[in-house]
Amino acid sequence: GFRASGWICLRIHPAATVSLGRDCRLNSGTRINLVGSGQRLGIYASRNACIAIADRVGISNSVIVATESISIGSDTLVGGGCMLVDSDLHALPLVPHVGDADPRRPRSRPVQIGSYVFIGAHSIVLKGSCIGDGAIIGAGSVIAGMVESHAVVVSPDAQGIGSRRAIKEQGVAP
């Protein structure tokens, strides 16, 4: 099962799939976490979208918006006020679309977040991002691409500042 605290906004299309692993914690509101308290936890999945949240994931006062696919690995923590989005959230009518893409639909690419990841408060993970196992994303970061396993990154341009690999090799971190 999972534990939910506070008012959580769910908008899930009947043709979408949302799965929660065991022992997940979904927190919404200031009584649980003051960080990101300006927003409630929201999970939005459009037609045919898939949101897969693995075991022991904790998410506070954040927004997850999937038009295609967002997956979060086990033992991951998502800090208050974060946004995880797999699309541009709206179509860009002035941008020409290639092939048979529907110009009314936002462009999307899957988001993959590994296990044992920490995403700091007010971070944004954009479409097509892949965050490797054990990575730490500093507060307020914007992720728009690949983050290697065990990397420690901070914004404004999500540059790596170190690695947890040495700690892992000593047997301290997962």
What's the pLDDT at 165?
A: 63
Residue percentage of the chain with pLDDT more than 70 = 74
Report the pLDDT averaged over residues 21-38. 77
What's the pLDDT at 78?
A: 97
What's the pLDDT at 174?
A: 57
What's the pLDDT at 39?
A: 76
Is the CB of residue 158 less than 8 Å from the CB of residue 142? yes
Question: What's the whole-model pTM score?
Answer: 0.82
What's the pLDDT at 56?
A: 98
pLDDT reading at 95 higher than 60: no
What's the pLDDT at 101?
A: 59
Among the listed ranges 50-59, 121-130, 162-171, which one has the minimum average pLDDT value? 162-171
Model pLDDT for residues 133-146, shown as the tens digit of each residue: 999 999 999 999 99
Half-sphere exposure of 114 (CA within 13 A, CB side): 17
Residue with the bigger pLDDT between 137 and 88: it is: 137
| Domains (range + CATH), the chain | 2-90+104-169 (2.160.10.10)
What's the pLDDT at 3?
A: 83
Report the pLDDT averaged over residues 158-165. 59
Give Cα separations from 128 to 24, 84, 86, 104, 158 (angstroms).
24, 11, 7, 20, 15
**What tokens does 91 get?**
């179509």
pLDDT reading at 111 higher than 60: yes
- How many Å apart are CA 140 and CA 131, to the nearest integer? 16
